Amino acid sequence: MVTSDDLVAVAQLLGREPSGDFDVVVRGDAGEPVVIRNSPFMHDGTPMPTRFWLVGADVSRRVSQLESRGGVRAAEAAVDPAALAATHERYARERSAEIPSSHAGPRPSGGVGGTRTGVKCLHAHYAYFLAGGDDAVGRWVHEQLAVGA
């Protein structure tokens, strides 16, 4: 359950009000939100392809640093393409399972970060991994952050 403190904290971490419903699925040592799981749709009904968001300030900064050093290309080179494809398929399947079969409008598409292939964003992959997702890129990010710690 999202508390009013969670709403304030996530808005502050995002720099804006959340545009859809979410749950906090990973918290830091002090109880602060680190990863949120978004509803498949924003408040206005627009599909939300990014199911898991990394919102923790410190970890987001560290992943940004990894990205700025060429982390996206390095992850794509290091991770088996079949494992990456399986990650995107799992992510999309899990998100789709949250959408009622009676939903007639547009649906979110793609896998992690809304893409079907490759790596778009290390933050999205790491958020999925931290939330318990079997994400080969998220695992790679975790290993890189541990080495850089």
CA distance 5 to 16: 15
Where would I find the H helices in 16-119? Answer: 57-68, 71-78, 81-96
Report the sign of the C-alpha dihedral through residues 125, 130, 133, 136, in that order. Answer: positive
Can you tell me the mean pLDDT for 11-28?
Answer: 96
Mean pLDDT of 7-30: 95
Which residues are within 8 A (CB) of 1 and not within 5 positions of it... i.e. 6 or more apart?
A: 23
Looking at residue 62, its pLDDT comes to: 97
Domain ranges for the chain: 4-148
pLDDT at 146 (0 to 100): 92
State how far the Cα of 103 lies from the Cα of 31, in Å rounded to an integer.
35
pLDDT at 116: 87
Looking at residue 49, its pLDDT comes to 84
pLDDT of residue 149: 57
Among 36, 47, 9, which Cα is nearest to 123's?
A: 36
**What is the C-alpha to C-alpha distance for residues 68 and 37, in angstroms, rounded to an integer?**
25
What percentage of the chain carries pLDDT values higher than 70? 99
Q: Kindly report the average pLDDT of the chain as a whole number.
A: 95
- Phi-psi label, residue 89: left if phi above 0, alpha if psi -120 to 50, beta otherwise: alpha
Residue 90 burial class via C-beta count within 10 angstroms: exposed 0-12, middle 13-18, buried 19 and up? middle
Euclidean distance between CA atoms 134 and 34, whole angstroms: 18
Statement: residue 58 has pLDDT above 70: yes
The per-residue pLDDT for range 85-141, each reduced to its tens digit, is: 999 999 999 999 999 999 999 999 999 999 989 999 999 999 999 999 999 999 999
What is the pLDDT, as a whole number, of residue 76?
95
- Can you tell me the mean pLDDT for 60-79? 97
The closest alpha carbon to 22, from 116, 73, 98, 96, belongs to 98
Stretch 64-81: mean pLDDT, rounded?
97
Claim: this prediction has a pTM higher than 0.85: yes
